[in-house]
Chains A and B, each alone.
Chain A
């Protein structure tokens, strides 16, 4: 089994070098995974990860830790399932137990429309080689007994999809695990290093200006989630991304009462229980654009009302704390991962409310794109050009509020 989850040594805190073979802008999980696979798959270690705050200060530890791959379309199945298969090996590969637990993910259906969409998605998943099952109301009651499956409630449970290989992991421990692995390759993790300018000469990127001085590189990847449009603006192009707050909350520590992940797009809630005992719940995004890392209370109120109706024993739990992350919402609820109008500059954003689960697959494909200059086959459909050609990958059904 892997090493202690709370190691003594974390990573070096180096000063920036004047230039690198490649720069990853953004020290969130997708940036860290990009750096990890640049070294592991492509042998690139003269690399820096630029983080304006500190590692683990943003969405890396604000997500609700759910991992699954049961998206509708083949393009999504490809990258999310690749990601899930990578998750299945990462505890051993990183030699760090970040509590990856494949306890199963239920997506509840409350209306005839939900049922049809759920059955269709389970069938589509199986055709893509992804494990998926359709459960009847009685089977939902057997699998997760604390859900109220009585017919009289406002949004009765008419069935659910189940992905047994889905689950949760401890996100802060994963930040430790992957940061240490990246550092061990000799890659510089530069914290407190905000990018304030992007140097472009003759249509080609040549480096970045930062709060810790200029750094040169002809290979730069932007992996900045909610701040992606700000960075793109520095390089002179626009992205179809809107930044919104996405709120989540935890209860106090409770005995283990919830054995799986329960998600419901229709009533806007998704919940799991951490190993330590907190109930971890997420909501839908706040409607307005924001960079403030906080949202409006009525969104949480709405989410709690839904959770308590679905799982009545939650009524006795108390909210311990709430927070928000800034998510990068794209028009089709699918990511943007690929080349930009600037040579040598690649972008990875638009994961919106669902980036955590995709961390390894996203980093794998981004590293390939940065190292070779050509999009990885799994991420090629997620190009920026699709908003010109119209080849959208509409995952609002699989993502909805509960991405």
Chain B
């Protein structure tokens, strides 16, 4: 079981949280102008890296607030926790800026 440090409450067991998938996925700004392919990509395609991943968690059975985590999908090690709405920390390892949607706000 993961030990996740909620950005608001501190460390809690994984069972208190729900997973929210990739963080920093922005709603398309020109939603009435984009193609079906772009809309399909926004709906269905997320990054799936083997390594550090910026992802969302919600403290469902605690404060019920969302926050972001940088976690390795290989070791499960969490290297950064930061509030929703903030950019991925520069210090978090593996920051590439690659991947569509990443950093778009």
A288 touches B55 (CB 8 A): yes
A243 cross-chain contacts in B, Cβ below 8 A: 48, 73
The majority secondary structure among interface residues of chain B is mixed
- Residue interface mask A220-246, B partner, CB < 8 A = 1: 000000010110000000111111000
Known: A290-B76, A331-B44, A388-B36. A296 touches B14 (CB 8 A): yes
Known: A297-B1, A298-B1, A388-B36. A289 touches B55 (CB 8 A): yes
Check: A54 CB closer than 8 A to any chain B CB. no
Known: A290-B76, A297-B1, A298-B1. A387 touches B48 (CB 8 A): no
CA distance A241 to B41 in the complex (A): 11
- Residue interface mask B38-76, A partner, CB < 8 A = 1: 001101111010100101000000000000000101111
Known: A242-B46, A289-B53. A387 touches B40 (CB 8 A): yes
Q: Which of B53-105 contact A (CB under 8 A)?
A: 53, 55, 71, 73-76
Which listed residue (A288, A298, A331) contacts B19, Cβ 8 A? A288
B18 touches A239 (CB 8 A): no
A291 touches B74 (CB 8 A): yes
CA distance A243 to B41 in the complex (A): 17
Check: B37 CB closer than 8 A to any chain A CB. yes
CA distance A331 to B1 in the complex (A): 25
A238 touches B45 (CB 8 A): yes
Interface residues on B, range: 20 to 34
CA distance A288 to B48 in the complex (A): 11
CA distance A31 to B36 in the complex (A): 32
A388 touches B40 (CB 8 A): yes
A227 cross-chain contacts in B, Cβ below 8 A: 50
Known: A239-B45, A242-B21, A296-B1. A288 touches B71 (CB 8 A): yes
Which listed residue (A241, A287, A331, A390) contacts B48, Cβ 8 A? A241
Check: A8 CB closer than 8 A to any chain B CB. no
The majority secondary structure among interface residues of chain A is loop
Check: B26 CB closer than 8 A to any chain A CB. no
CA distance A241 to B53 in the complex (A): 15
Known: A242-B46, A296-B2, A296-B14. A290 touches B73 (CB 8 A): yes
A239 cross-chain contacts in B, Cβ below 8 A: 45, 48
B36 touches A287 (CB 8 A): no
A288 cross-chain contacts in B, Cβ below 8 A: 2, 19, 55, 71, 73, 76
Which listed residue (A287, A292, A387) contacts B44, Cβ 8 A? A387
B1 touches A287 (CB 8 A): no
- Least Cβ–Cβ distance between A314 and chain B, in angstroms: 23
A240 touches B44 (CB 8 A): yes
B75 cross-chain contacts in A, Cβ below 8 A: 292
When C-beta atoms are compared, the residue in chain A nearest to B41 turns out to be A238
A290 cross-chain contacts in B, Cβ below 8 A: 73-74, 76
B73 cross-chain contacts in A, Cβ below 8 A: 243, 288-292
Name the 5 nearest CB pairs between A and B, nearest first: A287-B19, A240-B44, A388-B40, A229-B48, A296-B1
| Chain A contact residues, CB within 8 Å of chain B | 227, 229-230, 238-243, 287-292, 296-298, 331, 387-390
Of the A-B pairs whose beta carbons lie under 8 Å apart in the complex, a sample of 23, sorted by A's number, is: A229-B48, A238-B45, A239-B45, A239-B48, A240-B44, A240-B45, A240-B46, A241-B48, A287-B18, A288-B2, A288-B19, A289-B21, A289-B53, A289-B55, A290-B76, A291-B50, A291-B73, A296-B2, A298-B1, A387-B40, A387-B41, A388-B40, A389-B36
Given A288-B76, A290-B73, A387-B43, list of 18 further CB < 8 A pairs? A229-B48, A238-B41, A239-B45, A241-B48, A242-B21, A287-B18, A288-B71, A289-B53, A290-B74, A291-B74, A292-B74, A292-B75, A296-B1, A296-B14, A297-B1, A331-B43, A388-B37, A388-B40
